[in-house]
Each structure stands twice: as C-alpha cells, then as structure tokens.
Chain A
Amino acid sequence: MFVTRLAPVRPDVFARPVRTEGVEALAYALQQLINGVTLGMIYGLIAVGYTMVYGIIGMINFAHGDIFMVGAFLSLISLLGLASLGITAVPLALALTLLFAAGLAALYGWTVERVAYRPLRGSFRLAPLISAIGMSIVLQNFVQVGQGARVKPMNALLPGGIELMNEGDFAVQLSWMQIAIVATTLIVLTAFTWLVTRTPLGRSMRACEQDLKMAGLLGIDTDRTISLTFVIGAALAAVAGLLFLLYYGVIDFFIGFLAGVKAFTAAVLGGIGSLPGAVLGGLLIGLIEVFWSAYFSVEYKDVAAFAVLILVLIFRPSGILGRAEVEKV
C-alpha cells in the first residue's frame, strides 16, 4: 500500500524499461544515479536527527519520522498560503516555506522531548522508547484528524530540467527540482556541520554526546542542550519534509513511518551516532532503493533497503563509520 503511494510520480524520469546495452545502458544507469542521490539526500537529512539524538541520550526517537511528516504538511500549508497571498516567486516562496516549516517543526520537536522524553530520563531504558512510539502514533493521528486522511497532491513547483544526454530514445534528465533538492541539502548540511564543529553550542552538544555527566560538571545545562538537539533534528527533518513534498508531489499522514524507518536504517548503516555516517548511510539507502527499483523490482525496493539493515546489523553492527562501542573506564 505505501509502495504505490510513495512510488515516484514523475513517470518521465522513472518509468522506463531496463536498458542493458551500450551507451543507452550507461545513460540509464546515470539517470538512476541522479535519482538515487536526490532521494538519498532526503534520507540523509532525516537520518541526522536520529543519529544526533541517539548520540546524546542513547535513545531511538521513533517519533522523528512523524516530525518529518509534520514538516511536509507545514510546507504544503505554507506554500498554499503563500500562493493565496500572491507570493508565487518560486525562490522566495521556497525560502519562506523552509523557515516556516523548520521553525514550527522545531517547536514540535522541542515539545515532544519536553512532554514525552524528559520526564522519563533516569527511568528504565525502554521507557522513552515506548514513549517515542506513543508520540509517533499521536502525531500521525493528530495530522490525520486535522488534515484528513486523503492523499494531498501538489503541483510541481519547478517543472522541467536539463537534458544531460540523449541516447536513442532515452534522455538523461536532471530536473530543476533535483538540483534544488541537492543544493538545499548541501547548504543545510554545511551550515549544520559548521554549527557542530565550530560553535560553542556544537561543542556543548559534542561534550554531552561524549560524557553527559562531565558536561554537567563543566557547567553545561545538559537539559537545554538535549532540547536543542531535538530542535535542530526536527528542523532538519522539516527541510527533508519540504524536499519530499516537492519531489514526490503527494503526501499523507503516514509518510513519516516508511521514510522514518528508512532514515533510521540509513543512520544504522552509516554508524549510529556518527553525523557523516548518517549522510553517507542516507545516500547509500537512496541509491540502493533506486537501483533496486530500476533493475529488479519496484515492489521489493523496501525489502532491499531493510535487507541491508539486517545484513549490517549482523556483520557490522557499528555501521560503516561508527565506532565499536568501547566500555568507558
């Protein structure tokens, strides 16, 4: 059921028979590469939120995928609102929507942590995890009731693109939308990397991630730092929600589940707790999913992604860039 919902709606780009010969085959593979990287960027943005929260308090925030979904809805509301106000210049509308969705989703992220996780800190390990699953259900139902259960379509904001290659009857397309998605992701991740590596807040976050107790002993308000981690993660997820909406053109209250689990897979694949790992894992999951769909079967693309998760967990549980968990002395 989700498969059809999440299936790409740009048939000109995706729905092609497999090419297996000569330059055409190369062109076909190149197209898949472009599509895979685009999708991978979106997963990567979501995965960063999982990995940050895991790094700092060691819990999987199962409601994170639903924050992403909320971000997609906020983006849709914002874009429709701006259109009704007559603001139709695409770059301006996108920039405003980005700020609106990221800001409000950040508030959601903050609230979820404050209401559902912080009171359980110091409780048994599974408590916040269960609470997270509860928050996930709450958010889904909240959006379902508030926005209706039907799929919400949106017209393509940036139609067209560049034709990179034209071999026989197969054209390699790089759509404006894909360029926008990759560019937005790179800008956001650059800003985020700068924040984590160069600013006092980023240092505090890393200190909390490495030794929460010591961070407190240095005068860091650890509760506040944890809150900010949720806020930043939620803002990144909202950016992903906007990009998802732009790319697929349809959203519903349930998209957070599948995208969330895939992004979680990406975080584990890259090495949970590692920020570069989350982005790398996102890219790999995007590529695996797209190439699997292109060469084997669209129906089983989720199976491919999750098979990877299982293999990673069996053979390299610390992921590609993760550290093997060493007991601290």
Chain B
Amino acid sequence: MTAPLLTLSGVSTFYGAIQALRDVDMTVNEGEIVTLIGANGAGKSTLMMTICGSPRARTGSIVYDGRDIARLPTHEIMRQRIAQAPEGRRIFGRMTVYENLLMGAEVSGQTDIPALLDQICDLFPRLKERLSQRGGTLSGGEQQMLAIGRALMARPRLLLLDEPSLGLAPLVVRQIFGAIRTLNRETGLTVLLVEQNAHQALRLAHRGYVLVNGAITMAGTGADLLARPEIRAAYLEGGG
C-alpha cells in the first residue's frame, strides 16, 4: 500500500506548562474516513488544531503527503489542500454566505469558483437559498453546512471536521453525515472526523482512534471499536 496521506508520530502539544497531547501516533490513508472519539477535554480539538500548526507540536513529526508540516506556519499548511471546519463553526457572521464560501476558495488559489459553488449548493441545497444572507443570520445547522462548504471550497485532499454534529437536530446530523459519506465515496475525499457522537461517527468511519487525556488508548476499524465492551460502556451508553 502507498504511504499514508497523514502520519503523526510522537506528537506532544502543550498549552504553557500543561500538556494537552501525549506522544500521539496516528495515520490517515488517502480515501479513508478516520474518526477520533473521546470525552470532553480529551484533546480532540487540540489534535486537529495541532495538525494545522496552531498550537504547534512541541515534539514529534506530522508528515502530510511526504512532507513534514509540523514547523510550517498555519496559513502555509492550509494551502497544502488541508481544510478544516473547526469546532464552533467559526463562520464569518458579518459576511454573506457567498463571501464566506469565497474565503474558502480564494486563498487556496481556486479559479473555477462558479463550478465549486455549484457543487457545494448541490451538496447543501439550503445554502443556495441563503447565498446573499449574512452568515450570522443562519440557523445552527445551516452554519455547520456553511462551515463544511467553506472548507470544501478549497478542494481539499484532507478535510478535518471538528464535531459537526454538535448542537444540531438529529435530522440535520443525518443530513451532514450523509453528505460526508457521499463526498468520500464519490470524490475519494479523505476525512478526519472528531466526534462526541461516537456511535454515528464509528458507523460512518473506516477506522477510529480513542483519545483519553491526550493519549491514544485504542485504535481499530469502526465496526471493531463499536463492538468493544469498554467503548460501549464509556462512550455509547445511552447514546446512539
């Protein structure tokens, strides 16, 4: 098999003196959906942000497409066709939906913006009706679609999704997860998905990692992890 698209080896990240990630090893292969599950404060979002260079990994290497990106500035990492729909969506509330989407494409040097825009609107028809509306006026679900759409406008090879289901109605979550699956199947997009909604995430993903207190404690295929009793006890009881 070819080399993985993304390989983290021995990555540790600190906030000041506090260690948030401990010696994390992880791989994401091209065309895979990989999910990272864990409790609040386990370091899931920190891991996503560390891949993007903010905060920077203090030790270890992050190899993307054969190149160590751990020391690159954030904006250069994000120009390597890595895109993130971050925790809390972070859409630009005082820009229109159209401008938000444009921001995703422009900096990464996409030229065929109308075609990209059509693609996003096919995926999330709700956004199409709202193109001229300000981002801040959208509902939570629409904002999440916009955040993902904005990330997709960069034509990423690797899409990082941080808790896309947070605070959304089950129907909307299904819609969004459906869109991720479609993208992965039809375009071969590689996805790294952080989720608290472990049940749905593991069903969607090819493989998963479990993060506890900043360290990877378990890894396996989605189905394999779903079947493990300790996962069921810790993350799935009462859920799903």
Contacts and interface: CB of A to CB of B under 8 A. Distances in A.
A66 to B, nearest CB: 31
Nearest to A210: B92
Contact of A220 (B75, B88, B95): B75
Contacts of B99: 203
Contacts, number: 61
A204 B102 CA distance: 10
Contacts of B126: none
A72 interface: no
Interface in B75-90: 75-76, 78-79, 83-84, 86, 88, 90
Interface in B55-84: 73-76, 78-79, 83-84
A218 B78 contact: yes
B54 A218 contact: no
Looking at A204, A206, A215, A218, the one whose CB has the most chain B CB atoms below 10 A away is: A218
Contacts of B122: none
B54 to A, nearest CB: 6
B107 interface: yes
B52 interface: yes
A207 B95 contact: yes
Contact of A219 (B54, B79, B88): B79
Given A211-B92, A218-B150, A329-B88, A203 B75 contact: no
A210 B95 contact: yes
B84 A203 contact: no
A211 B102 CA distance: 16
A279 to B, nearest CB: 18
A210 B78 contact: no
A218 B154 contact: yes
A263 to B, nearest CB: 24
Contact of A216 (B75, B93, B94): B75
B118 interface: no
Given A219-B75, A219-B79, A220-B75, A213 B90 contact: yes
B107 A204 contact: yes
Interface in A188-223: 200, 203-204, 206-207, 210-211, 213-222
B108 interface: yes
B106 interface: yes
Contact of A206 (B83, B88, B95): B95
B94 A206 contact: yes
B112 to A, nearest CB: 16
Contacts of A204: 103, 106-107
Contacts of A211: 90, 92
A213 B86 CA distance: 10
Contacts of A216: 54, 74-75, 78
Contacts of A218: 78, 83, 103-104, 107-108, 150, 154
Contacts of A221: 73, 75
B102 A203 contact: yes
B103 A207 contact: yes
Contacts of B90: 211, 213-214, 217
A214 B106 contact: no
A118 to B, nearest CB: 13
Nearest to A201: B106
A203 B92 CA distance: 10
Interface in B114-171: 150, 154
A222 B75 contact: yes
A219 B107 contact: yes
Interface in A217-239: 217-222
Contacts of B93: 210
A170 B102 CA distance: 57
A220 B54 contact: no
B106 A203 contact: yes
Contact of A214 (B73, B79, B86): B86
Given A203-B106, A220-B107, A214 B92 contact: yes
Nearest to B102: A203
A309 B1 CA distance: 68
B70 to A, nearest CB: 16
Interface string A128-146: 0000000000000000000
Contacts of B108: 218-219
B62 to A, nearest CB: 15
A207 B92 contact: yes
Task: List the 10 closest A-B pairs by CB distance, nearest first.
Answer: A219-B78, A219-B107, A214-B90, A216-B74, A219-B79, A221-B75, A210-B92, A200-B106, A219-B75, A217-B84
Interface of A: 200, 203-204, 206-207, 210-211, 213-222, 329
Given A210-B93, A219-B76, 20 more contacts: A200-B107, A203-B99, A203-B103, A203-B106, A204-B103, A204-B106, A206-B95, A207-B92, A214-B92, A217-B90, A218-B78, A218-B103, A218-B104, A218-B108, A219-B75, A219-B79, A219-B107, A221-B75, A222-B75, A329-B88
7 contacts: A207-B92, A210-B93, A216-B78, A217-B86, A219-B76, A221-B73, A222-B75
